[in-house]
Amino acid sequence: MKSVSLKFLVEKLDLEIIYKSSDFEKIEIELNEINRPGLQLSGFFDNFPYKRIQIIGQPEDEFYNKYLPFNERRDRFDTIFSYKIPALIYTYSISIPYEVFSLAKKHDRTILRSNYGSTRLISKMNAILEYALSEEIRIHGGLLEVFGMGILITGKSSIGKSETALELIARGHRLVADDAVDIMKIDDKLYGQSPKNIRHFLEIRGIGILDIQRLYGVGAIKRSAEIDFIIELEKWDDDKEYDRLGLDESYKTILGVELPYIVIPVKPGRNIALIVEVAARNIRQKMYGYNAAKELNKRILDEIKNKSKLGENE
């Protein structure tokens, strides 16, 4: 289970610490959802998502100050703090009532405060947690941005992945990762980046390690990219029948996300970088509703139909 320390969130979001619990340094956040305890302040504690960070904004603050008697208000916060919540955060720099502070101290729970409004704070916190807690996998391959599309290039060692990447970079496209790609799932989309220690580097057998940023400039590299489709390079097999029309669409699943998948056979004389460029353009056309293979198939079927009608008339 991945987690993010509460201390990291406090530093990242510049949160003010009102009361620090004794286990503050050890608190880990494992869920990317946030809870606004309006129901709990009204007395409903069934299915209380206490493992989430709790946020109190202006509506909650006005509700318990205007509509709850002091004893009732104290009882509600006493119950909230009796659960092992990671932290209670006040937004809009709201003043913390003394009874809330004393109850947090009694139960040893952290209270924080933010200058941000509730919506903005939740948005920023969700972005941090979504990224940090996302599912992740490392795949052997390369990732490039070609015509604005993220292409994950896979295949066996020495098939030509790095050489293809180098030619694509020379054509003006951008390198994200070579040899190893760290893939994260965020909002049902896949994003890839290079492991930090090999970022911007590319290995070419016979030459060695190349620093792409120094050789081609910052415009030739990119920190991360959304993965739009997968291309697998494989050695040409004369006994294998390869797709020549493109009517059948294939997909590959990574972390539960289906991506368009193409197999490109490699043999001497084939310009793989050019084929990758064309594949990127073709996939983009399909995304916008145009499929060249289906259009050709339609024309052929229409021609056959017209000829059969002419035959019947004769």
Give tens-digit pLDDT for 156-192: 988 999 999 999 999 999 999 999 999 999 888 999 9
For residue 244 the two structure tokens come to: 């020549």
Chain-centre distance for alpha carbon 308: 53
Average pLDDT over residues 23-40: 93
CA 132/CA 120 separation, integer angstroms = 19
Query: Which residues are identified as catalytic?
Result: 140, 161, 179, 244
Residue 195, sorted as left (phi over 0), alpha (psi -120 to 50) or beta, turns out to be beta
Its pTM stands at 0.75
User: pLDDT by residue (tens digit) across 209-267?
Assistant: 999 999 999 999 999 999 999 999 999 888 877 777 666 788 999 999 999 999 999 98
- Residue 89 vs residues 14, 112, 219, 277, 307: alpha-carbon distances, Å: 12, 5, 41, 49, 75
CA 54/CA 89 separation, integer angstroms = 6
Side-chain half-sphere exposure of 149, counting CA atoms within 13 A: 22
What b/e sequence results for 148-186 when a residue is b if at least 16 CB atoms lie within 10 Å of its CB, and e otherwise?
ebbbbbbbeeebbbbbbbbbbbeeebbbbbbbebbbbbe
- Return the residue matching tokens 């697998």: 232
**DSSP label of 182:** E
- The SS3 assignment for 101 reads helix
